[in-house]
Each structure stands twice: as structure tokens, then as C-alpha cells.
Structure 1
Amino acid sequence: MKYMLTYDLMETIRNTNQWMGATARAYASYPIMSWGANPAMDWLKAWGEVTERTFARMVAKPDWDIPVQTNFDGTDMVVSTETVVARPFGDLIRFRVGNRPDRSRRIMLVAPMSGHYATLLRKTVISLLPDADVYVTDWHNARDIPVSAGKFDIEDYTLYLMDFMRALGPDTHVIAVCQPVPLTLAATAYLAELDPKAQPRTLTLIGGPVDPEANATEVTDFGRTVTMGQLEETMIQRVGFKYAGVGRMVYPGLLQLGSFISMNLETHANSFRDEIISVAKGEASDHDRHNTFYDEYLAVMDMTAEFYLSTVERIFKGREIARNAFVVAGHKVDFGKITTVAVNIVEGEKDDISAPGQCLAALDLLTGLPDDKKAAHLEPGAGHYGIFAGKSWRNNIRPHVLDFIDAHTDGKGANVGNVVKLS
């Protein structure tokens, strides 16, 4: 499958479905179609509208669309993004809230690179903005990165995180969500050896596979049973001529999306059926529950082949993080070197991606960290998405994380210092 033709064929299928939806919607919208009562046209138009939107959003990066924040004097402040560190495969961005003074809490959110854009953390950002200055790792779509930019694997990802932490300084509180949890832990441990003063103040790890074998899921079972040769032959494709990354070997976002949907196929099928019915009845809207969710869920990005393959081989199969055997740029990282960074583990009881125990395994690796700097929280009834967005996050996990940050902050309430801006 490692051919441009395969990648272009997949894009052609997506584009064709988008065109079919647009054609059906346009055909059913002709004025002549309304001259007589014909429910079939209403259904055709509804099907076309849902189909067109579904396949169109698969190739569009969602906007952050952060709502305005209210100042102490009641005025509205517009939220904008600015780039703090620029890199070929991802940037560190800040959410600037009008002319608001810096908050005492400086939080760096490490977004997953697992098929979705960093905008997956939009609700997390919105919930934290009133109480903190928020920074996010904004990873780029591999199909848009020229081959001349070089490779990007899990070691490069770790080095990027180290650069981001250095730029923000030691008064930073890092929150890693899902996939980047083990690599964020590794970046912190490497900094503990190379540049201790650049370590963050606290590290909150949310639902990530530090030890995938601690509690098996479908994801870990897949990683254990499939061979690397099978993965490379069936999952890796070469970007076609349509994009700037032409020729780059990637794990396509559309394949990852197919995997996501197959895990809950009946649920997704019912959701789209219900949305078509709602559109036909005139009860749907651009921002209804279905569109709000799927506008983000269906927007997927490609990962570099080397990042995807090294994740499976070294994190899941080799368990290098879990065995304290992870090597970055020829240097073996020792998690026992983390001695001052307070570490907080958050897991969801019903998480079927990174099951309880996988993230908690991080605490056993921190042999040099005092117990009073370790914490763990298991959220009852929460699934994977619920531990960083939704009701469980808002009501329980977010307050817990902020309390943990405050409990391990020196000079609580003081303004933070300047941020080093790199390019």
C-alpha cells in the first residue's frame, strides 16, 4: 500500500462521496422539485447535506473558535492565538486573552498526535482560560510538510517537548492528554539530567499508555498481535500529488478514522441516521449536538510513518517507557532522575483506550520522587473522552488538577515571568 496511487485513491473516494452529497442536495433543492408534495426529495436533500458535510470536514482543520472572555469590569475580551515556538512539525501556541494581565498559573497542554488535531482539546482550553494562561502543542498535518523537512519520530517528538518546556520556563504546569503522556514524562526526565532549571513545576498525566500491558484494551491487543511488517505494508502510504508533503510516508488520518469508527460502528451509524431524520424534519442546525461532535471527530490528520511505527514498536510492543529503557538521541533516559517535579495521574474508570493502571504505572518509575509529590485520581464512570472534556472534567477533574497545581506552586498568586519566544 506504500504508493501515491493508494493515497490518491483513498482521497478520490472521499472526494467522490463529498461530491455525491453536494449533488444530491443541489438536485433536491431545485425549485421545480417543490411544485408537488414529494417526501423523497426531502430525504434526498437531507442525505446529501449530511453526506457532503461529513466527507468535507475530513480534510479541514477545525478552528479553535474560543469564545470571548469576560473581564473583571464586565467587558468582553477577544481570545486570539500567537505562536511562541515555531517548528516544522508542530508549534507551541498561546491563547492571548485581550489585554488581560498574566495569570499566576501558566499551563502547557500537550495535545495528542494520534489522528486528530490539537483542537480536540478545545473544551479543555476553554475551561482553563479563566484561571490560567494556556499554551498548547499544535501539531501539523504530515501531508502538508515537505519531505525536505526530514523525519519526525517519537524521539523528535520528545525533543520538541523539551524545547517547548525550556521556552516557557520552570514556573510552568504541564498537562499531557492521552498519547503524549509517556513521551512527556520522558521529556521531563531528560530535562532533569540536561537542564534541571527548565523542568516544569508540576506534571499532570491524563489517561496515557505508560505501561500498555498494565490493563489490556483492544488497542493494546492490536499492538501485541500485529507484526511491524504487517503494519508497514497495510497502514503506511505515500502522500499524493495534491499536498505539499508529496512523497512523504505517512499513516493516513482517514485510515485512523476508519479504526476509530469501527470500534463503535453501530453507535456512529445510528447517530448519522438520526441526523438525516432531523435534517429532513427541519430540526437540525449547524451547531446541534451531532455537528458539534462530528465537526471535530471527523477532522483527521496524517502522522509521519516513522512516528506511528516507532510508537507501536517502542511504546506498545517494546514497552521501553514502562521498562525505563527509553533512548532519545542516543541517550538513555532515567525516570529516577525526576526528583522535584510534582506528578499527578488522572484516569477514567471506563476508559477503553488507556485503561486504568496504564497511566498509573508512571508513579512506579519515579523512584527518586518523594511520595508527597505524587498524586493519583480515578474518575468513577468516566470514559476516555470524559477525562479531559465534558461533565467529569468540569465538575471533578479540572478542580482536582488546579488544586494540585496550587498545592505545588511557590509564591502562589504571583505573576509569572516573561516567556522566551523562539522561531
Structure 2
Amino acid sequence: MKYMLTYDLMESARNTNQWLGATARAWGAYPIMAATGNPMVEWVKAWGEVTERTFARMVVKPDWGISAVTGDDGRDHTVRIETVVSKPFGNLIHFRVPGRFPRERRVLLVAPMSGHYATLLRKTVISLLPDCEVYITDWTNARDIPVSDGKFDVEDYTLYVAEFMRHLGPDIHVMAVCQPAPLVLAATALLAEEAPEAQPRTLILVGGPIDPDAAPTEVTDFGRRTTMGVLEQTVIQQVGFKYRGVGRMVYPGLLQLASFMSMNAQTHSQSFLDQILRTAKGEAGDHDKHNAFYDEYLAVMDMTAEFYLSTVERIFKGREIARNEFTVDGRRVDIGRISTVAVMVVEGEKDDISAPGQCLAALDLLTGLPSAKKAAHLEPKAGHYGIFAGKSWRDNIRPLVLKFIDGNSGKHGRRGRGLSLMPAVAASTGE
């Protein structure tokens, strides 16, 4: 399947479905159709509206949609998104709030590169903005990156994160969500060896596959039973002429989306049928619960072939992070070198992507870190999404994360104030 033709055929199929939806919607909107009195007209129109929106969202990068935040003075302050570091495969951006005093807490969110844009963490950003200066890694869709910009694999990702942390300085607090957790851990270890003064104050790892074998899931089982040759031949395609990255080998976002949806096909099918019914009845809204979720969920981005394949081969199959054998530019990165960065692990009891135990494995790798600087939280009944953007995050996890940050900031952190968090975290896990 590593051909430009297959990439363009898939894009053509998406385009055709979008056109069919738009056609059905326009057909049902003709006044003369209303005169027929046939209820099927509204059904066809509703199907067209939902179908057009669904297939259109697949190739659009969502907007952050964060216009203002309430300040200490009770007034709404505008939020400006500014690029701090610009690189071919991703930028470091800052949500700057003019007119308010800069917050002492400076947080870098490392967004996953696993099919969705960084906007997947929009709710996380919104929840942190009132109390923190928030930065985030905004990865670029691989289809839009010219081949002349070179490769991008797990080692390059690690170097990008290390550069971003170095740029922000040692008073930064880093939070890695899902996929980047093992690579952010490696980036921190890299700084511990090469530039100790640039290490962050704290590192919060949220639902990431540090050791995929610690608690197997459907995701890890797939990576284990599928050979690299099969993956390369079946999911890697070449970007077509429509995009700037023409000729680049990628794992297309549309294929990733098909994989995501197949895991819960019945749930998604029922959700779309219900939305068509609500639309036909005039009960659906542009920003209703269905559209708010699927506008983000359906917006997918291509990954470079080398990043996807090296992730499967080195993180999941080879377990290089779990075995502390990860290398960058031929040099081993020793996670045991981390000795001053306070590390907190957050997991969800019902997480079916990175099951409990996978992320917790990070604490065993931190052999040079005192136990007083280690913390763990298992959120009861929480799934994968809930631990960084849902109710569990807002009500329980966010307060613990902020407390952990405060307990390990500046002089307080050096005096070991982080000790006070441990009993609270242990109690929340039932230990």
C-alpha cells in the first residue's frame, strides 16, 4: 500500500462522501421538497447534514477556541496564542494572557502525537490557564511538511522535547499526556546527563506506556502480534499531490481514525444514528454534545512513517524505555540519572489504552531519585480521556497536580515539601 495512489484514493473517497452529504442536504432544503409532505425528505436532509460535517472535519485542524480567561480582578482577559519556538515538525506555543501578572506556575504540556492534534488537550489547557502560564507542544500534520525537511522518529521527538524544556528554563513543570510519557522521561534523563541545570522542577506522567507489558491491553496486544513488515506494507502510504508533503511516507490520519472507530464501532454507529434523528427533529445544535466531541475526535493528522514504526518497534515491541535501553544518536539514555526532578504518575482505573501499571513502571526506573520525590495517583473508575480532560481531571486530579507542583517548586521543593503530598496521593488510591 506504500503508493501515492492509495493515499489519493482514500482522500477521494472522503471527498466523495462529503460531497454526497452536501448534495443530500441541499436537495432536502429545496422549498418544493417541503411541499411533498414526505417525512423521508427530512431524514435525507438530516443524513446529508451529519455526513457532510463528519467527512469535512477529518481534514481540518480544530481551532483552540480559547478567547479569554477570568483574572484575579474578576475581569475577562484575552488569551493570545504565541509561537515561542518554531520547528518543522512542531512548535512550542504559549497561551499568553495580557493584562494580568504572570503566574508563578509555568507548565509545559507535551501533547501526544498519536493521530489527533494538540487541541485534544484544549480542556486541560482551559483548566490550567487561571492558575498557570501554559505552554504546549503543537505538532504539525506530517502531510504538510515537505520531504526536504527530513525524517522525524522517536529520537527526534525526544530531542524536540529536550530543546523545548531547555528553552523554557529550569523553573518549568512538565506534564506528558499518554503517548509522549516514555519519550519525555527519556528527554528529562538526557538533560540530566548533558545539561542538569536545564531539568524541569517536576515531571507529571499521565496514562503513558512506560512499560506496555506491565498491563497488556488491546493496543499493546496488537503491537505484539503484528510484525513490522506487515505494518509497513499495510498502513504506510505516500502523501499525494494535494499537500505540501507530497511524496512523504506517512501513517495517514484517515487510516488511524478507522482503527480508532473500529475499537468501539457499535457505540460510534449508534451515536451517529441518534444525531441524524435529532437533526431531523430539529433538536441538534452546531455545538451540541455530539458535535463538540466528534469535531475534535474526527480531526486526525498524518504521522511520519518513521515515527509510527519506531514507536511500535522500540517502545512497544523492544520495550527500550521499560528496559532502560533507549538510545539517542547512538548513546544510551540512562533514566537512573534523574535525581532532582520530582516525578508524579497519574493513571485511570478503567483506562483501556494505557492500563494501570504501564505508567507506574516509571517510578521503578528512577533508581537515582529519592522516594520523597516520587508520587502516584490511581483515579477510581476513570478512563483514558477522563484523567486529563474529563470530570476526574477537573475534580480530583488537577488539584493534586497543582499541589504536587507547589510542593516541589523553588525553595519549598528543595526543603522536601513534596513529602506532604504522598499520604494524600496514597490515600486516594486506596493504599
Q: TM-score, normalised by structure 2?
A: 0.95
**Equivalent residue for 1:354?**
354
Number of positions where the alignment pairs a residue of Structure 1 with one of Structure 2: 413
SS in 2 for 1:250: strand
Percent identity between the aligned chains? 75
What amino acid does structure 2 have at the position aligned with 1:73? D
CA contact (8 A) 2:223 2:316 kept: yes
> Which stretches of structure 1, 4 residues or longer, exceed 3 Å deviation after superposition?
none
Gaps of 5+ in 2: 414-431
1:201 counterpart residue number: 201
Are residues 1:108 and 2:113 paired? no
Look up the equivalent residue of 1:401 and give its one-letter code.
V
Q: 2:71 touches 2:130 (CA, 8 Å); kept in 1? A: no
1:359-379 C-alpha deviation (Å, 9 max, x unpaired): 000000000000000000000
In 2, the alpha carbon distance for the partners of 1:67 and 1:390 equals 21
- Deviation of residue 307 (structure 1)? 0.1
Matches within 5 A, 1:307-318: 307-318=307-318
> Partner of 1:136 in structure 2?
136
Q: How does 1:80-95 map to 2 (within 5 A)?
A: 80-95=80-95
- Following TM superposition, by how much is the alpha carbon of 1:67 offset from its aligned partner in structure 2, in angstroms? 3.9
Q: Distance in 1 between matches of 2:41 and 2:97?
A: 47
Distance 2:225 2:72 in 1: 56
For each residue in 1:201-231, what CA deviation from the matched residue of structure 2 results, as whole angstroms up to 9, or x when unmatched? 0000000000000000000000000000000
Task: Kindly provide the amino acid, as one letter, of the partner of residue 344 in structure 1.
Answer: M
Query: For residue 158 of structure 2, what is the aligned residue in structure 1?
Result: 158
Q: Distance in 1 between matches of 2:101 and 2:231?
A: 49
Cα offset for 1:31?
1.1
Q: Distance in 2 between matches of 1:412 and 1:84?
A: 29
- Equivalence for 1:21: 21
- Give the 3-state SS of the residue equivalent to 1:106 in structure 2: strand
For 1:367-402, what per-residue CA distance to the aligned partner results, in whole angstroms no more than 9, with x for missing partners? Answer: 000000000000000000000011100000100100
**Residue by residue, what CA displacement relative to the aligned partner does 1:124-161 show, whole Å, maximum 9, x if unpaired?**
00000000000000000000000000000000000000
- CA shift digits 1:153-211 (9 cap, x unpaired): 00000000010001100000000000000000000000000000000000000000000
**Any idea what SS the aligned residue of 2:129 has?**
helix
| One-letter identity of the residue aligned with 1:99 | G
1:71 deviates by: 2.4
Counterpart-to-counterpart distance in 2, 1:153 and 1:340 = 28
Aligned to 1:70: 70
Matched, 1:50 2:26: no
1:271 aligns with 2:271: yes
Task: Give distance in 2, aligned partners of 1:166 and 1:72.
Answer: 30
3-state SS of 1:130 partner? coil
CA distance in 1, matches of 2:25, 2:40: 12
2:99, 2:327 → 1: CA distance? 43
CA distance in 1, matches of 2:349, 2:74: 39
CA deviation vs aligned residue, 1:90-148 (integer Å, no higher than 9, x gap): 00000011222210100000000000000000000000000000000000000000000
Letter in 1 for 2:269: A
Which residue type is aligned with residue 123 of structure 1? Answer: K
Report the TM-score when normalising by structure 1. Answer: 0.97
Alpha carbons 2:92, 2:136 under 8 Å: kept:
yes
Distance 1:329 1:21 in 2: 49
Distance 2:237 2:141 in 1: 14
Q: Which letter maps to 2:29?
A: S
1:412 shift after superposition = 6.5
Q: CA RMSD, aligned part only?
A: 0.9
Find the counterpart in structure 2 of residue 258 from structure 1.
Answer: 258
1:104/1:412 contact within 8 Å kept: no
Counterpart in the other structure of 2:418 = none
Q: Could you tell me how far apart the structure 2 residues matched to 1:65 and 1:101 are?
A: 22
Give structure 1 stretches of 5+ with no counterpart. Answer: 414-423
Q: Is the 8 A contact 1:112 1:118 kept in 2?
A: yes
Q: 1: CA distance between counterparts of 2:288 and 2:132?
A: 29
Letter matched to residue 279 of structure 2:
V
Distance in 1 separating the partners of 2:73 and 2:327:
51
Partner Cα distance (2:143, 2:368) in 1: 41
Structure number with higher relative contact order (C-alpha < 8 Å, ≥ 6 residues apart):
1
Displacement after TM superposition at 1:411 (Å): 4.7
- How much has 1:70 moved relative to structure 2? 1.7
**Is 1:408 aligned to residue 408 of structure 2?**
yes
* Whole-angstrom distance in 1 between the partners of 2:412 and 2:336: 28
